[in-house]
Amino acid sequence: MIPNKDDHLNRINKRTLCIETFVLKKIVTSVICLRHLTSHISSAELCLHSLHIFFAQTKGWRFCSLRSRMQRFREGIHIRTMKAKRKVEEISKEDVQAFLKKNAFVLFTVGAVIVGIVLGFALRPYKMTFREVKYFSFPGELLMRMLQMLVLPLLISSLITGMAALDSKASGKMGMRAVIYYMTTTFIAVFIGILVVLVIHPGKGSKEEFGKQQTIEQVSPADAFLDLIRNMFPPNLVQACTQQFKTKYGKRVVHVTVTVNDTFFNSTNGTQEVMEITREERIPVPGQVNGVNALGLVVFSMCFGLIIGNMKEQGQLLRDFFDSLNEAIMRLVAIIMCSATLPVTFKCLEENNKIDKRITRFILPVGATINMDGTALYEALAAIFIAQVNNMEMNFGQIITISITATAASIGAAGIPQAGLVTMVIVLTSVGLPTDDITLIIAVDWFLDRLRTTTNVLGDSIGAGIVEFLSRHELRSKDVEMGNSVLEEKERKKPYKLISQDSDVENDKRAHTESHM
C-alpha cells in the first residue's frame, strides 16, 4: 500500500511541534532555576524579566512546515509557467519581424560564418587556383577597404570631440591617469609573457623542423625609436593620412686611404706606401612606407581638441562640426559593419556600460594606438622563444632589455593585422637574436593576431572604466560649470543606431496609438 503524502507531512509537522515544545520547556526550566539562584541580584532580575518577555513572544512563533513550503514552491512554478505561456501566446508576427530586423546583423553574421565553414570544407578536396581563391575573397576585400576608409575620419573626429569637451586641467589629469594605466598594464603583460615562456620552455626542440619562407629587413633599435618620434610630428597632415616615415638602408662606397709601412717586410730598406681601399658602408636613408600615420594624427587631434576646448564660445562652432562629423561617421560605420573594433568598443562602453562619452572619445582612440598589451606580451614571449630555439641562454640584463624594448615597440605598433611581426625585428635586434627566425612563427601568427587583438581591446575597455571612476569628480565639476551633462542627451540620437531601427521605433509607436484608438 502506497502511503499518503498528506499523512506523511502531518507526521513530520507533529514531530516538529513536539521538538519545539520540548525545547521551550527546557529553556523555561533553565530560566526558573537561574532566577532562584540569582534572586538577590537586581541585574539578574532585570535579565530574567527580559527573558520572560522574549519567551512570551516566541511562544507564538511557529516554524513553517514542510507542507506549506512545498505548497508555495508549487504555486511559484505554476505562476511562472502561466506567465511564460501568456508571453508566448501574445507573440505576434509583427514582434517576430521586429526581432529579426533588430538582430539582423547578428543573424547574418552567424549565417555567413556557417556558410563559410561549409564552403571551406566542401571545396577543400578541389585544387583551386590562386585566381579562384581571390574571387571568393573579393567580398571580404571590399568590406575591409570600406572599413579602412572610415578609420581616418573616425579617429580624428572622435579624438577632437573628446578633447574639446574637456578643459586643459581635467584632460591633463585624465591623460596622466591613462598613461600610468597604459604603462602599468604593458609592463605587466611583458612580465607575464616572459614568466610563461621561461616556465614552459616552448622553444626546446630541433630548429630544422621549421621551414623558413620569408626574410625581414633588419632595423636598428635606435633608428626605430627615432622613427617613432618622427611619426609623432608629421610635416604634412595630408601625407600622414597615407604614409608614415620609416628609415631605410642604402649602401655607399667609401674610399679609405691607408699608409702601409714596408719595414716589417724589408728590414734593410724601410719605405712607406699609401694605399686607397674601397669598401661599402650601410647607411640609414629617410624613406616612406604606405600606411596611415596614426600616431601623428593622434598627437595632432589631441592638441587641436585641447585648443578648441580652451577657446570656449569661440570654438563652439568647430566643436559642433566635429561632433556632427563623429555621429555621421558612426552611423555610416553601423550601416557598413558594426563589428569593427573601435566602433563596437565605443558602442559597448557608451550604450551598454554607460561610460561617459568624454572618456571614451579620449581614451579609446589613444589606447587603440599606444596601448598594445597583447602585442607587448607576444613580442616578449616570441623573442625568448626564438632564443630557446637557437639554444641561447638569456641573462637577466638581456631579459630586462627585451622587456623595455617590447614595451616601446608595442607603443609604435600600427593598428593593422600582423603588425607585431614588423615590430618584432626591433626586439630581436636589441639582444642580438637572428631576425630570420621570425619566420618560425609566421605560420601561426594569423591565429595569434586574433588573440592579441582581443587582449588589446579588453585592456582599452577596462582602462576607460578605471579612468572614468578616477576622474568622476572632474567630470561632475565640468557638468556643473557647463550647466548640463554630456550623458543626458535626450534630444540627440545615438550615433550607433541604424536608420532602420529608428524607423522601427516609429512604426511601433504608430501601432501602439492605433491599438488604443
Same domain assignment for residues 384 and 442: yes
Please report, in angstroms and rounded to a whole number, the separation of the first and last CA atoms in the chain.
Answer: 63
Q: Are 470 and 476 in contact (CB under 8 A)?
A: no
Q: What is the pTM of this model?
A: 0.48
More confident residue, 282 or 454: 454
Same domain assignment for residues 167 and 284: no
For residue 349, give every residue at least 6 positions away whose Cβ sits within 8 Å of its Cβ, in sequence order, or none.
Answer: 355, 360, 364, 461, 464, 465
Residue with cell 576585400: 141
Q: What is the pLDDT of residues 10-67, one digit of tens each?
A: 666 666 666 666 666 666 666 565 555 555 445 555 555 555 555 554 444 444 556 6
Same domain assignment for residues 265 and 321: no
| Cell (9 digits) for 249 | 638602408
Confidence of residue 148 (pLDDT cuts 50, 70, 90): low
Instruction: Determine, yes or no, domain membership for 406.
Output: yes
Same domain assignment for residues 447 and 488: yes
Q: What is the rounded average pLDDT for all residues in the chain? A: 71
Of 457, 157, 159, which Cα lies nearest the Cα of 299?
A: 159
Domain limits for position 279: 245-290
Instruction: Determine, yes or no, domain membership for 350.
Output: yes
Same domain assignment for residues 273 and 381: no
Confidence of residue 331 (pLDDT cuts 50, 70, 90): low
Range with the poorest average pLDDT among 14-28, 108-122, 330-344: 330-344
Of 327, 364, 353, which Cα lies nearest the Cα of 460?
A: 364
Q: Tell me the C-alpha to C-alpha distance, in Å, between residue 210 and each of 215, 378, 387.
A: 14, 19, 14
Same domain assignment for residues 396 and 282: no
Mean pLDDT of 149-177: 68
Burial readout 43-79 (b: 16 or more C-beta within 10 A, e: otherwise): eeeeebeebeeeeeeeeeeeeebeeeeeeeeeeeeee
Instruction: Determine, yes or no, domain membership for 490.
Output: yes
Give dist(CA 417, CA 340) in Å, integer. Answer: 13
Instruction: Determine, yes or no, domain membership for 97.
Output: no
DSSP character string of 100-143: HHHTHHHHHHHHHHHHHHHHHHHHTTS---HHHHHHHHHHHHHH
What was the pLDDT predicted at 10? 66
Instruction: Determine, yes or no, domain membership for 105.
Output: no
Same domain assignment for residues 213 and 286: no
Same domain assignment for residues 283 and 397: no
Q: What is the pLDDT of residues 400-413, one digit of tens each?
A: 878 877 777 676 55
Q: What is the pLDDT of residues 338-379, one digit of tens each?
A: 445 677 788 788 888 888 888 888 788 777 767 788 888 888
Same domain assignment for residues 236 and 266: no
What was the pLDDT predicted at 13? 64
Residue 387 maps to which CATH number?
A: 1.10.3860.10
Instruction: Determine, yes or no, domain membership for 46.
Output: no
Same domain assignment for residues 349 and 409: yes
More confident residue, 320 or 492: 320
Q: Tell me the C-alpha to C-alpha distance, in Å, between residue 426 and each of 113, 284, 435.
A: 37, 15, 9
Q: Are 246 and 227 in contact (CB under 8 A)?
A: yes
Structural domain total, the chain: 3
Give dist(CA 133, CA 441) in Å, integer. Answer: 24
What was the pLDDT predicted at 316? 81
Same domain assignment for residues 229 and 254: no
What was the pLDDT predicted at 258? 67
What was the pLDDT predicted at 488? 47
Give dist(CA 50, CA 155) in Å, integer. Answer: 72
Same domain assignment for residues 236 and 371: yes
Residue 480, pLDDT above cutoff 50: yes
DSSP character string of 67-105: HHHHHHHHHHHHHHHHHHHHHHHH--HHHHHHHHHHTHH
